[in-house]
Amino acid sequence: MTETPTAPAVEGAVQDPQANTVAIVGFVLAFIAPPIGIIVSAIAVSKAGKAGLDSKLAKWGLALSIIFTVLYLVLVGFGVWAALSIPPVTTM
């Protein structure tokens, strides 16, 4: 009798394609719509954590979304402050 060879077992974590897709979407949204990117990236980080995976892309998306949201809020606040500090125009 002859034995049939078997394929060697592959060790390592199997990447969840859905979690990876959500991580990519969250990363892209970090640049386009940061508040939405925070939500989507947080979901991706949570999914990766539950699956026992380390999703660096999701963590980067979350960090960049938070940074860009804070920067946008600072810029909007500065714009409002600048608009309110303009003296009123008087006409005769």
| Residue 70, domain member (yes or no) | yes
| Residue 21, domain member (yes or no) | yes
DSSP characters over 40-83: HHHHHHHHHHHHT---HHHHHHHHHHHHHHHHHHHHHHHHHHHH
| Residue 65, domain member (yes or no) | yes
| Residue 92, domain member (yes or no) | no
pLDDT at residue 37 above 60?
A: yes
pLDDT at residue 60 above 70?
A: yes
Q: What is the mean pLDDT of residues 49-70?
A: 88
| Residue 5, domain member (yes or no) | no
pLDDT at residue 5 above 80?
A: no
| Residue 59, domain member (yes or no) | yes
Q: 42-46, 75-79, 85-89: lowest mean pLDDT where? A: 85-89
pLDDT of residue 70: 96
Quote the number of domains for the chain: 1
Domain membership of residue 27 as a residue range = 17-84
| Residue 73, domain member (yes or no) | yes
pLDDT at residue 38 above 90?
A: yes
